Amino acid sequence: MGNLCSLFAPRPPPKPVKKKQPITKRQSSTGSRSGLNSNRVRSSSSRRDNKFEDAVIQEHALAAAAILFRQQNGGGSLPFDRSASQRYPGSGSKKNQLPRSSSSRSRSSTDPLLQPHQLLNQGVKLDDLETNHFVLIHGGGFGAWSWYKTIALLEEDGFKVTAIDLAGCGINSFNINSIASLSQYVKPLTDVLEKLPIGEKVILVGHDFGGACISYAMELYPSKILKAVYLAAAMLTNGQSILDMFSLKAGQNDLMRKAQIFMYTNGNENPPTAIDLDKSLLKDLLFNQSPSKDVALASVSMRSIPFAPVLEKLSLSDANYGSVRRYYIETLEDSAIPVTLQENMINSSPPEKVYRLKGSDHAPFFSKPQALHKLLLEIARITPT
């Protein structure tokens, strides 16, 4: 956890070095005084900008640390108030109500988190929603840590959020090379769903490989899942595997092929046990629109992807999997799962609604966190047909 925090920890501004001024006669030039005053104003403004940037970085570090703390302590609830590090007079936000962005400025390509004073109330209460519980499932090689911005935003709005480390991912200690099936890989998710109180339903959000994981869970526990959101994810059809999905994009882009490093723990004469990704290609493949600090976080946190689940074909039925309402969020600047491949999956198994995230790479929780948050709120508000 210390390493994660150190990535975001703000550096204190260097103390100004006092220079001895030569002894001269006092000059009454107003121009000289004006220049000094101007320098003071610029210096003060610079210090304010530095403090604001440091506060935002510190805020992100606290969010990441909170996730790891929660995971290391059995997944218990840990309150996290983003406004604790920055107070904005007159924000006036009310509990149990959902915000929307009211910023009139154009956002940057990295879509930084908006501050509380830039949010307005939409008059929708959490009590009016069918569920306020999101369960977030990371993609291949990622972990619960990747959702730290999304967790902070959802929890600030009063939602209950469970971010899961699948087997051998994040801080889960299972040996990634010994995972022999999709059920073994997804067990942390199915354990959470199995233990849900009677009558409680959740909204599943699956990213990347996590799409196949939530589909598997939907087949097993359809009565416990209200909605499923596929975020740049593998939305497979019955009898299809992750490998089948990627075979559809053969020849489109060889960046994924170049980045893959197969691991043969059982010897070269046997099938691979896991897939690693070349760290030097991570930014181009996954994070071409993401902030550098998030790319640094991912480069030291990502783990290998188990190979056996990639080969496994899903068994999905209309009665179970087909009974859950599905939504897809496309990422338009995605190099890992290009838009053409995302649209192929959408056309093969149309969801209830499709959303598009402009300017997002394969990791919208990094590159477009506020826009992603807004879409998740919109999906949560959709009432039964």
Query: 154, 148, 115, 116: which is closest to 134 by C-alpha?
Result: 154
Question: What's the token pair of residue 317?
Answer: 């039925």
Separation CA 332–CA 324 (nearest Å): 25
Q: Are the beta carbons of 165 and 144 closer than 8 angstroms? A: yes
Single-letter amino acid, residue 221: Y
Selected catalytic residue, list 208, 294, 361, 373: 208
Question: What's the token pair of residue 190?
Answer: 């199915």
- Type and span of the H or E element at 150: helix 148-156
Neighbour count for residue 350 (Cβ, 10 Å): 12
Across 209-234, b (16+ Cβ under 10 Å) vs e yields bbbbbbbbbbbbbbebbbbbbbbbbb
- For β-strands 97-101 and 133-137, DSSP reports them as unpaired
DSSP state of 141: T
Selected catalytic residue, list 60, 138, 207, 362: 362
Q: Three-state SS for 261?
A: strand
> Is 362 labeled as catalytic in the residue annotation?
yes
> Is 208 labeled as catalytic in the residue annotation?
yes
Active site residues: 208, 334, 362
